[in-house]
Structure 1
Amino acid sequence: MSRPGGTIPPRPPEPFPPQPPRFPRSPWQPESRPPGPGAVSSSAALVVGQDRLAERLLDQRVVTLAGELDADAVNRAVAELALLDATGDGPVRLQLSGVSAGLDAVLTLVDALDLMGVPVHATSLGRLTGPAVAVLAVADRRIAGPSATLYLCEPRAPHSGPGRDVGSWAAELARQLARLQERLAAACGRPAEQVAADMRTGRLFTANEAREYGLVDAPEPAGGPIR
């Protein structure tokens, strides 16, 4: 825009707002620090601790199983056994603590143990229940803690599928059970018929009774090391 005699001069820039005075930092006033990381939840810390413990146990060629075994626990154990079999010639120690499991899980573990190219030394603590007894019995060296018990019994029947599949499901269950009983019989040096009868009625063994039956090699003496 112009006006007679020339152009409108530009407006001068706005002055910056005044800055507050800056005083030198006192030696008693520490420098500000960036905020630290947030708090770690107890569950996350527990998972990290368990992972580190598992790594340290694997470094010592130890595999642990505890409680009711699901598919994830079985797959992890099979993978750990295969890893230790492939990375060393020393024996693998299998620690069993209060283990119970279904037929599928136990047969998978038994197959994995039978395929191991290195000795497996198994130790049972607490109560070993049902088909899980076979996981201890098929190991190359079998130890039961002084307070351990082994409950030899048939597995609880899982929920079956649709009615039309009941017959095939029952036949498969019977086939798996017979296979487990034959493997147990071979491990403890007894007739498969006797093992089947004891599983059918349910039989509870102390560590000494399990040794006499052939399920373990020797009970660990009280006060002795669990190797």
Structure 2
Amino acid sequence: MNLRHDPSRWGFPPPNQPPEWQPHLPGGPGLPGWLEERLFDQRIVMLRGQLTNEAATGIAAALLTLDSAGPEPVQLHVASPGGDLSAALSVIDVIDALTAPVHALVTSEAGGAVLAVLAAADRRAAYRHARFKLAEPRAGGVTGTADEVAAAAGQHLRELEEAVLRLAEVTGKPRSRIEDDLSSGRSLSAAEALEYGLIDEVVAPKGR
């Protein structure tokens, strides 16, 4: 297992920077405007808390704006336990369409549908105390007639298959293994996620 110690190679701020560079706690109030602006100037997009369709719209807009501003890598900082699968796939579609590469950094946690977003990034890293939760992505709430509910269930299964294939491709694991781990709700440390293939690197403090 290879724990590399040079976060500057990725263009990520090291984990011992001042707190203003680590606004990655899931949930809670929104970031101050000045901090959002400063992060945006550094080509950093935050994925915090539950990934909803509304949050996905904002993340997609930020990614597209930064992509149009230049070809330099965009940093996607992830601190999310999961969210709606449809929202995750909408972010993935944008990442796939970008010219600029996306470098994802898991700062505290990543789980559920957000793991598929992580898999879509060109590079994936995590701080050494980050945690990962393999859990079956949830579907958004569906109401309507029996036929509408059945159609929505079929759509969710197709979307779930796409997410599983994404994870299988990036990890090199068989599809059946990914499905089993999602069903069992397997949890991984950053080091275990590196070994599993979810990330490419664990960012550790220099000198350790």
> For 2:113, what is the secondary structure of its paired residue?
helix
In structure 1, distance between residues paired with 2:179 and 2:124: 21
Cross-structure match for 1:22: none
Residue in structure 2 matched with residue 167 of structure 1 by the alignment: 150
The answer to whether structure 1 residue 140 and structure 2 residue 125 are counterparts is no
* 2:25 corresponds to: none
DSSP 3-state at the match of 2:75: strand
Distance 1:88 1:121 in 2: 15
Q: Give distance in 2, aligned partners of 1:65 and 1:138.
A: 14
Bigger RCO of structures 1 and 2 (CA < 8 A, at least 6 apart):
2
The CA distance in 1 between the partners of 2:81 and 2:67, in whole Å, is 23
Which consecutive segments of 4 or more residues in structure 1 shift more than 6 A? none
Matched length: 177
TM-score (normalizing by structure 1) = 0.72
Post-superposition Cα deviations, 1:167-215, rounded to whole Å, max 9, x if no partner, equal 2121111111001111111122222222122112221111011111110
**Identical positions, percent:** 37
| Counterpart check, 1:82 vs 2:28 | no
With the length of structure 2 as denominator, give the TM-score of the two structures.
0.78
Q: CA offsets, 1:23-78, max 9 Å, x none?
A: xxxxxxxxxxxxxxxxxxxxxxx87x722221221111111111012222111110
Q: In 1, are the aligned partners of 2:82 and 2:137 still within 8 Å (CA)?
A: no
Distance 2:71 2:149 in 1: 46
1:190 paired with 2:173, answer yes
For the residues of structure 2 that align with 1:52 and 1:148, how far apart are their CA atoms?
Answer: 26
Q: Is 1:67 aligned to residue 67 of structure 2? A: no
Structure 2 gaps, min length 5: 1-28
Does structure 1 residue 201 correspond to structure 2 residue 176?
no
Report the equivalent of 1:103.
85
Q: CA RMSD in A?
A: 1.8
Given the alignment of the two structures, is residue 131 of structure 1 paired with residue 105 of structure 2, yes or no?
Answer: no
Q: 5+ unaligned residues in a row in structure 1: which ranges?
A: 1-45
1:178 aligns with 2:165: no
The match for 1:120 among 102, 110, 115 is 102
Tell me by how many angstroms 1:98 deviates: 3.1
User: Which residue is 2:6 aligned to?
Assistant: none
Q: Is the Cα–Cα contact under 8 Å of residues 78 and 109 in structure 2 kept in the other structure?
A: no
Q: Distance in 1 between matches of 2:47 and 2:151?
A: 31
**Does structure 2 retain, via aligned residues, the 8 Å contact 1:98–1:127?**
yes
Q: SS of the residue aligned with 2:32?
A: helix
